[in-house]
Amino acid sequence: MSRGPIPKGDTTQTLLDRLHLTNVRAIELTEALLRLADANAVTARSEPVDLAVVADEALLALRDEADRRPVTIDARLEAASTVGDHTLLTQLTANLIQNAIRHNHAGGEVRLRTHADAATSRVTLRVENTGPTYTAALATQLVEPFLRGAGRLAAGEGPRSHGLGLALVAQIVAVHDARLSIVPRAGGGLVVSVEFASGAPGLAHS
């Protein structure tokens, strides 16, 4: 599956469909977060999930925001099947793409990839963006709650944000016993990779 720059212009029906999808996802996410908040046991669902499909769904919900920046999204999505909670993995992917759009510059780029490696039995979601320059130390700290951009707390500029996006990503990664990597990109921006076991990864308990 391959996707170039996101086209502009939608019909009213497309907009209504997208709003309905957003509302459904919000309800599902609330339910999923309530499950994660249960201190006694993690009850994240264990179901087949294709990261390429999840990424395509997230792009649909975020393309208007990308157009407004404007930021070009280059998506090359190969089938990457794992097992996990579809709602939480959709939120993880949406958070990564949204961060890549918001912490970017006008005319910047976001590169989105999904890939399966049969040799290692791992599947990977990778989000790379242009943007401000980060040190390696700051990049690793971005999963801390309320930390935004170049280390700033949530401010009034740009879209409303509380600096919880990557903190939630890290929590979802832990629940799925996955691996999260956040490193500075040469020339500015970040490269964020999440690696899952293909097939049936065990869900961690917290």
* Average confidence (pLDDT) over 130-157: 68
Quick one: pLDDT at residue 147?
Answer: 54
Residue 9: pLDDT over 70: no
Higher pLDDT, 33 or 71: 71
Q: What is the pLDDT of residue 158?
A: 41
Q: Is the pLDDT of residue 159 over 60?
A: no
HSE on the CB side for 111, CA within 13 Å?
11
**What pLDDT sits at residue 201?**
45
Q: What is the mean pLDDT of residues 173-202?
A: 89
Mean pLDDT of the chain, nearest integer = 80
Q: How far apart are CA 9 and CA 97, in angstroms?
A: 20
pLDDT 10s digits, 28-62: 667 666 655 543 344 567 899 999 999 999 999 99
Closest CA to 130 of 152, 158, 150, 110: 110
pLDDT at 156 over 70: no
Question: Any idea what the Cα angle at residue 67 is, between residues 150 and 104, rounded to 5°?
Answer: 15
- pTM, full prediction: 0.72
Give the per-residue pLDDT at 17. 80
How confident is the model at residue 43, as a pLDDT?
52
Question: Would you put residue 97 in left (φ > 0), alpha (ψ -120 to 50) or beta?
Answer: alpha
- What is the distance between the alpha carbons of residues 105 and 91, in angstroms, rounded to a whole number? 23
Please report the pLDDT score of residue 33 as a whole number. 64
Q: How many residues does the chain have?
A: 206
Whole-angstrom distance, CA of residue 13 vs CA of residue 72: 24
What does the pLDDT read at residue 151? 44
Over 60: is that where the pLDDT of 23 sits? yes
Band of the pLDDT at 109, cuts 50, 70, 90? very high
2-197 classified as CATH 3.40.30.10:
no
Other beta carbons within 10 Å of 59: 20
Q: How far apart are CA 40 and CA 23, in angstroms?
A: 29
Provide the pLDDT for residue 145: 60
- Note the pLDDT of residue 30: 72
